[in-house]
């Protein structure tokens, strides 16, 4: 057995099949089934000879996570809970908006970063996802939404993608490869809590991808309260890494700022945010906090959100007020894993 078919880059699959003596057009047919037709089984690749299908079955694993729960929000976003082969669960969210169909994918089962607003954090880190488990999320979501071609991918689901650097990078290579899903780097974003050494590594690599940073406060003590990573990598270190990333990749940075009532929306918060982001070529996505069961943070009123947004307008950065999607199905920002929380949290504590 060579391994899982989705763990190989298309050119690696090509090299193996050329060694088998297969013709180039046959290999292209196989790659087409997987990456263009989203086929989930060798048996369904009907234009391949049966002998080749049998050999593929003997040589490559093609087991996929099972869709355990599929929930549709009243705003039409969809959340899938996927059961992995070791019975762990991850979640993905599919959001359709005008001409943009965005898939929010996971990179880990749980997460070690312990951000205080995040339901996934309560599970703790169980394990990194394998390359094939990351790629499979795209395959499965597209298979279930044949009418809506996925146009954008964000690593913003469960887990800190830069803590699973090697597997996430290989998955990105497969998703962007011309013979793979052929996704444009401009339509893919990694969202990080600010793992500075990994941001530097990514900036120095040949990977092309946009970066979003979960900021949530530009006042160090407050950010540390929300996000323990701030005690490890200061705001100054984070800013320096982002300026370098921008220089080396030419991609504009996005900041995610979850607005929390009575916490990060005062005049001093605005002032600190303007000071931090005002001289970076960036976009600021403001997100209204969604109440999450078991977490103490409160959702601001629409008036508070409007006032905060207005005060920020002096900044040259593009500011967007992002609608959090899928609140009713616990698919909105910070909510992933909220419904699984009691079981996975308990299982993890017992380990």
Give the nearest distance from C-beta 286 to ligand SF4 in angstroms: 16
Q: How many CA atoms lie within 13 A of 198 on its CB side?
A: 18
Residue 6: how many other CB atoms lie within 10 Å: 25
Alpha-carbon 176 to chain mean position:
15
Place of tokens 């990060």: 264
> Residue from 7, 82, 105, 159 that binds ligand SF4 (CB under 6 A)?
159
Token reading at 48: 């391949």
Give the nearest distance from C-beta 125 to ligand SF4 in angstroms: 9
- Pick 5 or 227: Cβ nearer ligand SF4: 227
Structural contact between residues 334 and 119, judged by C-beta atoms closer than 8 angstroms: yes
Binding segment for ligand SF4 (CB under 6 A), chosen from 110-118, 200-208, 263-271, 290-298, is 110-118
Binding segment for ligand SF4 (CB under 6 A), chosen from 50-58, 156-164, 172-180, 296-304, is 156-164
Place of tokens 């997460």: 111
Give the nearest distance from C-beta 314 to ligand SF4 in angstroms: 28
> Residue from 13, 31, 48, 111 that binds ligand SF4 (CB under 6 A)?
111
Give the nearest distance from C-beta 1 to ligand SF4 in angstroms: 32
Q: Catalytic residues, which ones?
A: 91, 333
Segment holding 311, helix H or strand E: helix 302-312
DSSP 329: G
> Residue from 93, 121, 169, 196 that binds ligand SF4 (CB under 6 A)?
121
Question: Residue 17, interface with ligand SF4 (CB under 6 A)?
Answer: no
Give the nearest distance from C-beta 140 to ligand SF4 in angstroms: 20
- Pick 139 or 193: Cβ nearer ligand SF4: 193
Question: Residue 258, interface with ligand SF4 (CB under 6 A)?
Answer: no
The helix/strand count (H/E) of the chain reads as 12, 14
Structural contact between residues 189 and 132, judged by C-beta atoms closer than 8 angstroms: no
Give the nearest distance from C-beta 81 to ligand SF4 in angstroms: 16
- Pick 17 or 188: Cβ nearer ligand SF4: 188
Could you write out the three-class secondary structure of 158-216?
Answer: CCCHHHHHHHHHHHHHHHHCCCCCCCCHHHEEEEECCCHHHHHHHHHCCCCCEEEEECC
- Pick 101 or 108: Cβ nearer ligand SF4: 108
Question: Residue 120, interface with ligand SF4 (CB under 6 A)?
Answer: yes
Binding segment for ligand SF4 (CB under 6 A), chosen from 67-75, 106-114, 139-147, 282-290, is 106-114
Rounded Cα–Cα distance for residues 110 and 20 (Å) = 40
Angle between helices 50-59 and 24-31 (to 10 degrees): 60
Q: Which of residues 189-248 bind ligand SF4 (CB under 6 A)?
A: 193, 214
Residues of this chain that bind ligand SF4 (CB under 6 A) = 111, 113-115, 118, 120-121, 158-160, 193, 214
């Amino acid at each position: 057995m060579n391994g899982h078919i989705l763990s190989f880059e298309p050119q690696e699959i090509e090299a193996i099949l050329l060694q088998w003596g297969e013709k180039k057009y046959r290999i292209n047919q196989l790659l087409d089934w997987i990456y263009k037709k989203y086929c989930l089984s060798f048996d369904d690749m009907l234009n391949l000879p049966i002998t080749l299908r049998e050999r593929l079955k003997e040589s490559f694993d093609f087991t996929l996570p099972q869709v355990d729960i599929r929930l549709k929000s009243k705003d039409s976003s969809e959340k899938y809970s996927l059961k992995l082969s070791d019975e762990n669960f991850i979640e993905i969210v599919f959001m359709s908006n005008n001409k943009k169909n965005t898939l929010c994918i996971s990179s880990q089962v749980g997460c070690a970063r312990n951000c205080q607003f995040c339901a996934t954090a309560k599970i703790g880190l169980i394990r990194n996802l394998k390359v094939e488990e990351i790629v499979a999320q795209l395959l499965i979501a597209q298979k279930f939404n044949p009418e809506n071609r996925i146009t954008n991918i964000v690593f913003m689901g469960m887990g800190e993608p830069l803590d699973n650097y090697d597997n996430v990078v290989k998955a990105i290579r497969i998703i962007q490869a011309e013979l793979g899903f052929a996704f444009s780097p401009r339509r893919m974003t990694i969202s990080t809590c600010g793992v500075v050494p990994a941001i530097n590594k990514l900036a120095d690599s040949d990977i092309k991808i946009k970066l979003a940073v979960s900021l949530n406060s530009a006042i160090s003590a407050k950010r540390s309260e929300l996000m323990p990573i701030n005690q490890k990598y200061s705001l100054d270190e984070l800013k320096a890494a982002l300026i370098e990333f921008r220089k080396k990749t030419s991609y504009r940075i996005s900041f995610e700022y979850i607005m929390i009532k009575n916490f990060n929306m005062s005049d001093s918060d605005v002032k600190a945010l303007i000071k931090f982001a005002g001289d970076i070529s960036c976009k600021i996505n403001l997100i209204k906090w969604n109440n999450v069961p078991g977490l103490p943070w409160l959702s601001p009123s629409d008036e508070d959100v409007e006032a905060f947004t207005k005060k920020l307008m002096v900044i040259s950065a593009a500011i967007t007020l992002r609608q959090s999607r899928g609140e009713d199905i616990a698919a909105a920002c910070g909510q992933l894993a909220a419904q699984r929380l009691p079981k996975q949290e308990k299982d993890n504590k017992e380990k």
